[in-house]
Amino acid sequence: MQNFDRKKKLFVISGSSGVGKGTVIEGFLKRNPNFSLSISYTTRAKREGEVDGVNYFFVSKEEFLMGVKNDEFLEWAEFSGNYYGTKKEFVQKSLAKNKNLILEIDTQGALQVKEKMSESVLIFIAPPSLQDLEFRLRNRKTETEEAIAKRLDFVKMEIQNSQRFDYRIVNDKVEYAIEELERIIKTEEAYER
């Protein structure tokens, strides 16, 4: 039986690029429209087709660092010279409205969330194997050897961090990965942590 008084849990999903994390989350959201993705703040440049306030809140470095100074972030991290972070207010407002929220952030950020909100559920989407990921990255033919090596090092760090996650989904078939994500979320919603 559903308990309507139960506090909403925060689901945090991480997984390095190249593992198809975006496709899995997109598939889940299509089938579960009562869930929404948290909108992060970033200092990186807007890519073509991205909309401010939809994909990210695009802010200047000064604005971002002011938020850090004022302790406005639940978590934040830096990649390749850009900052990314989740504002506390955004999450608190969503949970207060009893909304189901998913955070799609990196593993460093996910572990910060877990420290502050121990009831949050961390899910890692892993590549079937490092060799498979390397093959996929090479196959894209968009990056130099050096960039690929750097990315693989980052993935290794993420896999190391993921040992502290609650769940791991191996994405060898997208359809199965989406089903597994659904199963995990439904089960977690039914129990208190």
For ligand 5GP, the closer of residues 15 and 180 by Cβ is: 15
Question: How far is 36 from 14, CA to CA, in rounded Å?
Answer: 16
Cβ-based burial of 96 (10 A; exposed 0-12, middle 13-18, buried ≥19): exposed
Partner residues linked to 147 by β-bridges:
none
Which of 29-37, 102-110, 121-129, 181-189 is the region at the interface with ligand 5GP (rule: CB under 6 A)?
102-110
> In the complex, what is the shortest distance from the CB of residue 75 to ligand 5GP, in angstroms, rounded to a whole number?
6
Partner residues linked to 77 by β-bridges:
84
Is 124 one of the binding residues for ligand 5GP (CB under 6 A)?
Answer: no
Is 102 one of the binding residues for ligand 5GP (CB under 6 A)?
Answer: no
Look-up of token digits 């009893």 = 98
For ligand 5GP, the closer of residues 76 and 124 by Cβ is: 76
Contact 91, 38 (CB under 8 A): yes
Question: How far is 117 from 12, CA to CA, in rounded Å?
Answer: 11
> In the complex, what is the shortest distance from the CB of residue 63 to ligand 5GP, in angstroms, rounded to a whole number?
15
Look-up of token digits 């087709």 = 49
Is 105 one of the binding residues for ligand 5GP (CB under 6 A)?
Answer: yes
**Binding residue for ligand 5GP (CB under 6 A) from 29, 37, 65, 77?**
77
Window 4-33: residues binding ligand 5GP (CB under 6 A): 17
Which of 76-84, 126-134, 148-156, 162-170 is the region at the interface with ligand 5GP (rule: CB under 6 A)?
76-84
> In the complex, what is the shortest distance from the CB of residue 109 to ligand 5GP, in angstroms, rounded to a whole number?
2
Tell me the C-alpha to C-alpha distance, in Å, between residue 35 and each of 8, 68, 100, 127, 144. Answer: 11, 27, 5, 24, 37
Is 158 one of the binding residues for ligand 5GP (CB under 6 A)?
Answer: no
Is 75 one of the binding residues for ligand 5GP (CB under 6 A)?
Answer: yes
Is 40 one of the binding residues for ligand 5GP (CB under 6 A)?
Answer: yes
Q: Report the interface residues with ligand 5GP, using CB under 6 A.
A: 17, 40, 44, 75-77, 79, 84-86, 104-106, 108-109
